[in-house]
Structure 1
Amino acid sequence: MQPPGSVNIRDAKALGQLIRRTRKQQGLTLETLAGLCGLSIRFLSELENGRDSCGFGRIMMVLDALGIDLVAYPTEETPS
């Protein structure tokens, strides 16, 4: 069972949507967020648009700057 308010992230597009939504809720521009996490506006734009090739370490920097915790739960296995 996942905590209230949590979001299932199954692909890069869903992660990008979460990041964009959180950034806008916090009233941040791409430029401001880029300054907060030390990354380029281009990278952030690609991340928000679901580009698959964004590096995990840089993604974690963005999540940290936005105050988003990444928590993973194994999916329940169904018996064969």
Structure 2
Amino acid sequence: MDVEGIGAFVRAKRKELRLTQLEVAELAKVSDRFLRELEHGKPSAEIGKVIDVLAVLGFDLEPVVRRSDSE
């Protein structure tokens, strides 16, 4: 998953939970500007803040082994 994919995931889950950007930002203790930029795939988003936003939405960020295309 790339940065744009993470942003799209956050946006989809936020909407699924019927939360506004401002509500999620307040719950995650980040700015609404940060959340907007994250949802738009800003490549320099701070990982700690991304983890905080994902936690508010009920998710953890965990490393996974990447499978090669030949598998």
TM-score in terms of structure 2 length? 0.89
**Amino acid across the alignment from 1:38:** K
The equivalences for 1:1-80 within 5 A come to: 9=1, 11-76=2-67
**TM-score, normalised with respect to structure 1:** 0.79
Structure 2 residues without counterparts, runs of 5 or longer = none
Structure with higher Rg: it is: 1
User: Distance in 1 between the 2:5 and 2:43 partners?
Assistant: 11
- C-alpha displacement of 1:26: 0.2
Structure 2 Cα separation of the partners of residues 71 and 32 of structure 1: 24
Alpha-carbon shift at residue 78 of structure 1 (Å): 7.5
Instruction: Give 1 or 2: higher helix fraction.
Output: 2
Q: CA deviation at 1:77?
A: 5.1
Q: For residues 12 and 61 of structure 1, what CA distance do their matches in structure 2 show?
A: 16
Gaps of 5+ in 1: 1-8
Q: Please report the RMSD computed on the Cα atoms of aligned residues, expressed in angstroms.
A: 1.6
